Structure 1
Amino acid sequence: MANNRVSFYNLAWRWHFYAGLFVIPFMIMLSVTGGIYLFKPQLDNLLYSDLMSVQPGSQALSADQQLERLRQAYPHAAVSQYLPPTDVDRSAQFVATLDGRKQNVFVDPYSGKILGVQDAENNLQAISRSLHGTLLIGTLGDRLIELAAGWAIVLVVSGLYLWWPRGQAVRGVFWPRLASRGRLFWRDLHAVTGFWGSLLLLFMLLTGMTWTGYWGESFAAVWNRFPAAMWNEVPKSGLQARTLNSATDQTVAWAVENTPLPVSDPHAAHKGHVTQEDAPSASQVSLRQVVDTARERGVLPGYSITWPADATGVFTIAVFANDPRNDATLHIDQYSGRVLADIRWKDYGIVARSVEMGVVLHEGKFFGLANQLLMFGVCLLILLSAASGLVMWWKRRPQGSLGVPPLRHDLPLWKTAVMIMIGLGIVFPLVGMSLLAVWALDWLVLSRIGASKAIAR
C-alpha cells in the first residue's frame, strides 16, 4: 500500500504542477481582462463620457432621423446595428463600417450632432473581451482558453487533494500562519487562498466554459432546447443566432445562440404581387418601425437592433439584460415588419435559465456594484494564488533545475480523487485528451528521467 500511496501522490503532485505550469499565464490574463470587463460601465463613463453623455432636450429625434444625420456625415457608411439611448442623458449609438473598419458612431438624439467615432474592435473593452475569449487569434485562441479553463478545474481538484487536512493544526489549513517566513509563508498563502476561493473559482470556470466554441456549443446542443413548435410557422435560414455574436461584442444571450435565424420574405410587403426578379427592390421597413415594435412588445432599454445581413435576413432586436428575466430576442421580417420570433425568459428551459443566471453573476451584472466587487475579489484571489504558487515552486524547485519540486510521501491514497479526475476527463474532452497525453509523457519520459538521475546519484 505504501507504494500505491507514493504513486498516487506522485501523480497528483505532477498533475497539479503541470496544470499550474500551463494554466497560470492564462489565469493571470483572464483575471486582468475579466477585471477590466467587470467595470465596463464605470470605465466607459470615465473614458468616453464625451461620446456617451448628452444634455437632455425637450424632444428627441426619431431613430430614422438620427440615421439620416449619420448618413449625411458618412454617405458611404454601411450601418449594421443601432443602440437606442438607455436614458434621457445618453447618446444613441450606431455600429457602421467606415473605410473598411468597424466603428461605433455616437449621435446626440436631440440635436442629431455626431459626437464622435470609436473603433469598435480597437478600444479597451473590445480588446479585453477578445483577449478573454480568443486571445485575439480566433478559433485557436478559443480552444486554448477552453483547455486552460479545463486544466484549471483539474488544478483546483488536485490542489484540494494536496491541501486536504491530515491531522495537522488548523493554522496553515484554514488560515495562513502569517508569522511564518520563507517557503512556509508562501505555502500557507497559496493553499489557504486556493481553498477559500475554490468554490468561487469553480463557479467562474464552469460559467465561462459555456461560452467556449467546442465544449460550450456541445453543451448547448444537448441541454439548450426550445419547443420545436415555436418554429413551425417560421421560415428558417441555415444560420443560428450565435452568428450575431463576435469575439468583441455580444448581441444575443447564450440561451438563444443555437436557435435558427428566420428569413424575410421579399414578397411580403407587396402581398405577392412581385416576381422573383423584383424581390431586391422590395421596400424595407423603417428603423423607427422596428423601434416601435420593441416598445410595443415591452423590450426594456439597453437593447440593440441588428440590420439584416442580406436580402433575406431579418432585423434582430436583442437585449442581454443585467437581470436575465428581462432578456428578449425578436426577429422581424425586414419587408413586412412581422415579428417572426419572440423569445423570452419564460421560453428558456431550466438549464438555460441556470446558465444565464450564472453568466450575469460571472460578469458582475446581477446585483450591481456588490456583484462587481465580489467577482473582482475572485480575480484578485486568482492572481494571489498564481503569484504565491510561482514563488513557492521557485523556492522548492530542484537545485539548478526548473523541474517538479521534491515529493512528500505522507499522504494516504484517495481513490475518490482518481474517479474525479477520470470524470473531468470525460466531461471535458479536451482536458481528457490532454490528461492522457501528459500522463503518457510523464510515464514514458519524465518519471524515467527522474529515476535515472536518482540511480546515478
Structure 2
Amino acid sequence: MSVISDAPVLAAAEPSALAQRLYRAIWRWHFFAGLISVPFMISLAITGGLYLFNDEIDASLFRYRNYVAVGDTVLPPSKIVEKAIEAVPGGTLSSYRTPAGADRSARVTLSTDAGRELVFVDPYDGAVLDTVGAKEEFNEVVQDLHSLDYFGTSWERIIEVVAGFAIVLTLTGIYLWWPRNQTGGVLSVRGTPKKRVFWRDLHAVTGIFASVVILFLAFSGLLWSGFWGAKLNANLSANGMGYPVQLWDNVPHSMLITTDVQPNASWLMENAPVPESSLPASGQTALPPIGLDNAVTIADAAGMLPGYEMSPPSSETGVYTAAIYPADLHYERTLHLDQYTGERLVDIAFADYPATGKAIEWSVNVHKGQEWGLFNQLLMLATCLIVIAMSVSGVIMWWKRRPAGRIGVPPAPREKRIYIGLWAIAAVFGVLFPLTGLTILAMIVIDQFILHVVPLARRLFTFA
C-alpha cells in the first residue's frame, strides 16, 4: 500500500506487548521494502501514467505523422514499402502496419545496420511523413522505461522484484493502517504540511483507498517479468490453459516464436511457435511467393481489424504473420500465412483462448487502461498519482523523523521469536515470487547480521 512509512502512536488500549512488538517488526520490514522501492515506484508511476494515453499522444503531439488527408486511391503495400526504403537507403522490410482508418498513415518498419527504423507514409500519395528510430519513438521509449528494457533485458528482473515489493508494501501497509482505537489517520488527514503526522496520514489514507488497485497492478505487472511471468506463461501453455496448442498440431513448427516476428505480441501469444511454409516435394516445381500485396489482401479478406502489423517471411520456409492487439480484446488476432499458397496455417483470435488466457489478457488490458475507455485510463492515472504521493509523503516523513546523520531504521524487537512467523511468511512469498524472495532473504541477512556486526552500519542505520 505504501512505501517508506512511519509508525503512528500506538493506542493505550493496545492488546498486548507482543502485538506491539509484532507491529514494530512489520513496520521495520515495511520501511526496508520502501527504502528499496521508492525510486522505482515513482518511475513506474510516471511512465505508466504517460503510457495510458499513448493513443492520445499520437493523435496530438505526433498527429503530423499518424493522420493524413483522405484521398481517392490507396497505394499497394509494396509501393508504400518502396517509398519507405527510398527514404532509408539500405533498409530491409521488417514489418508493415496497415492504416488503421481512412485518415491514418501506414507505418513501415525497416531493419538497418543501426537498428529498426520506423517510416510513416501517406498511403495515398506515398509521401514520407516522418522517420524515427524504433528505440527513439516516444511511446516506445516510455514503454521501455516503464519495463526498464531501455537499459537492457537484464534490468527486467528488477521489475519483478519491485512488483513483489509492491505486494509486500501493500499488505504490510494495510496492517499498519488498521485502526487500533485511534480516531485520526484512518480516513482523515490530521495536522498541516509542517507536521509529520500530516504526511503520515496522507501516506496511509491515500494508500488504503488505492490498495486494491495497487495489488492488481502489481500482480498483472508481474506477468511481464522475465522470470516469473515467463514461467507462468510456459506452465499455463503446458497445461492447456495458455494459447491453444492444438491449433499447431497439423502444421510444421519453425524454431521461431511469435516475439521473433512480432515484437509487440500479446502476453499469451508471445511464446507461441511460428509455423513453417511448405516447400515443394522432390521433383515438384516451386510456387512463387505470394508477395506482400497478396498477403495483405488475404488478411483483409479474413477480417483482420485495420491497423494490424504484417511481418514478411524471414527465410524460404518462413510465413507471413499478421497480428493486432487492440483495446477491444474481441479483435485481438494472430494469423500465419503460407508464403507460397497463402493458406491460413494458424488463425487464432481472442475467442479461441481458454478461460485462463482470456482472464489474463483482460487483466493486461485493464493494466494498460484499455478496457473501459476513459474511465479505465483515469482510474489507472489516479492510482499512479497516488503511488507518487505515497512515495513522496513517505520520504518526507522519514526525513522529518530520522536522526541527524543516520538512515533511521525503525527499531527491531528484541525478542527474536517474533520473527519466526514473519520468516515463514517470507519463505512462502519467496516460493511464489523467487526473485523477490531472494531479495527479502538478503534483507534478513543485512538486518539480522550485518547491521549488528558492522559498527559503522549499525550506527548509520539504527534509529538511536
- CA separation in 1, counterparts of 2:209 and 2:445? 32
Using the TM superposition, give the Cα deviation of residue 418 of structure 1 relative to its aligned residue in structure 2, in angstroms. Answer: 6.8
Q: 1:176 aligns with which of 185, 189, 201?
A: 189
Instruction: Find out whether 1:19 has 2:33 as its counterpart.
Output: yes
Instruction: Find out whether 1:242 has 2:245 as its counterpart.
Output: no
* 8 Å Cα contact 2:262/2:323 also seen in 1: no
Structure 1 gaps of 5+ residues are none
Match of 2:291 in 1: 286
Match of 1:258 in 2: 271
Match of 1:389 in 2: 394
- CA separation in 2, counterparts of 1:272 and 1:261? 27
Aligned residues: 440
Match of 1:81 in 2: 95
* 8 Å Cα contact 2:40/2:162 also seen in 1: yes
Q: 2:369 aligns with which of 364, 367, 375?
A: 364
Match of 2:159 in 1: 145
**Comparing 196-205 with 6-15, which one deviates more in the overlay?**
6-15
Q: 2:326 aligns with which of 321, 335, 354?
A: 321
Task: Map residues 164-243 of structure 1 onto 2, 5 A cutoff.
Answer: 164-169=178-183, 171-177=184-190, 181-224=194-237, 225-243=242-260
* 8 Å Cα contact 1:23/1:149 also seen in 2: no
SS at 1:9 equivalent: helix
SS at 1:254 equivalent: coil
Instruction: Find out whether 1:106 has 2:120 as its counterpart.
Output: yes
- CA separation in 2, counterparts of 1:320 and 1:435? 36
* 8 Å Cα contact 2:65/2:105 also seen in 1: yes
TM-score, structure 2 as length reference: 0.87
Match of 2:54 in 1: 40
**Comparing 290-299 with 141-150, which one deviates more in the overlay?**
290-299
SS at 2:150 equivalent: coil
Q: 1:238 to 1:420 in 2, by over 3 A?
A: same
**Comparing 375-384 with 118-127, which one deviates more in the overlay?**
118-127
Q: Which amino acid aligns with 2:60?
A: L
CA-to-partner distance for each residue in 1:375-409, whole Å, 9 max, x for gaps? 11111001000000000111111333123145799
Q: 1:178 to 1:6 in 2, by over 3 A?
A: closer
- CA separation in 2, counterparts of 1:146 and 1:235? 35
- CA separation in 2, counterparts of 1:421 and 1:196? 25
Match of 1:342 in 2: 347
CA-to-partner distance for each residue in 1:100-119, whole Å, 9 max, x for gaps? 33211111111122222122
SS at 2:151 equivalent: coil
Using the TM superposition, give the Cα deviation of residue 74 of structure 1 relative to its aligned residue in structure 2, in angstroms. Answer: 4.3
Match of 2:6 in 1: none
Q: 1:139 to 1:68 in 2, by over 3 A?
A: closer
- CA separation in 2, counterparts of 1:135 and 1:17? 27
Using the TM superposition, give the Cα deviation of residue 145 of structure 1 relative to its aligned residue in structure 2, in angstroms. Answer: 1.4
- CA separation in 2, counterparts of 1:83 and 1:27? 34
- CA separation in 2, counterparts of 1:272 and 1:260? 29
- CA separation in 2, counterparts of 1:245 and 1:153? 31
Q: 1:89 to 1:321 in 2, by over 3 A?
A: same
Q: 1:167 to 1:408 in 2, by over 3 A?
A: farther
Q: 1:189 to 1:95 in 2, by over 3 A?
A: same
SS at 2:107 equivalent: strand
Using the TM superposition, give the Cα deviation of residue 363 of structure 1 relative to its aligned residue in structure 2, in angstroms. Answer: 0.9
CA-to-partner distance for each residue in 1:316-370, whole Å, 9 max, x for gaps? 1111120212210011122221111011112212221111111111111122222
Match of 1:65 in 2: 79
Match of 1:305 in 2: 310
- CA separation in 1, counterparts of 2:129 and 2:458? 70
Q: Which amino acid aligns with 1:230?
A: L
* 8 Å Cα contact 2:262/2:311 also seen in 1: no
SS at 1:21 equivalent: helix
Q: Which amino acid aligns with 1:9?
A: Y
Q: 1:210 to 1:113 in 2, by over 3 A?
A: same
Q: 1:351 aligns with which of 353, 356, 371?
A: 356
Task: Map residues 117-128 of structure 1 onto 2, 5 A cutoff.
Answer: 117-128=131-142
Q: 1:398 aligns with which of 403, 412, 422?
A: 403
CA-to-partner distance for each residue in 1:201-227, whole Å, 9 max, x for gaps? 111111111011110011111224344
- CA separation in 2, counterparts of 1:417 and 1:348? 39
Give percent identity, aligned residues only: 38
- CA separation in 2, counterparts of 1:5 and 1:380? 33
**Comparing 318-327 with 444-453, which one deviates more in the overlay?**
444-453
Instruction: Find out whether 1:374 has 2:404 as its counterpart.
Output: no
Match of 1:115 in 2: 129
Using the TM superposition, give the Cα deviation of residue 448 of structure 1 relative to its aligned residue in structure 2, in angstroms. Answer: 6.0
Using the TM superposition, give the Cα deviation of residue 415 of structure 1 relative to its aligned residue in structure 2, in angstroms. Answer: 9.8
Q: 1:418 to 1:168 in 2, by over 3 A?
A: farther
Using the TM superposition, give the Cα deviation of residue 424 of structure 1 relative to its aligned residue in structure 2, in angstroms. Answer: 2.5
- CA separation in 2, counterparts of 1:371 and 1:262? 36
- CA separation in 1, counterparts of 2:421 and 2:296? 56
* 8 Å Cα contact 2:243/2:357 also seen in 1: no
Q: Which amino acid aligns with 2:374?
A: L
Using the TM superposition, give the Cα deviation of residue 445 of structure 1 relative to its aligned residue in structure 2, in angstroms. Answer: 2.4
Match of 1:273 in 2: 284
CA-to-partner distance for each residue in 1:76-126, whole Å, 9 max, x for gaps? 221101111111111111001245332111111111222221221112211
Match of 2:45 in 1: 31
CA-to-partner distance for each residue in 1:35-82, whole Å, 9 max, x for gaps? 121111111222222211111012212222322333444452211011
CA RMSD, Structure 1 to Structure 2 (Å): 2.8
Using the TM superposition, give the Cα deviation of residue 420 of structure 1 relative to its aligned residue in structure 2, in angstroms. Answer: 5.2
- CA separation in 2, counterparts of 1:286 and 1:75? 21
* 8 Å Cα contact 1:285/1:336 also seen in 2: yes
Q: Which amino acid aligns with 1:396?
A: R
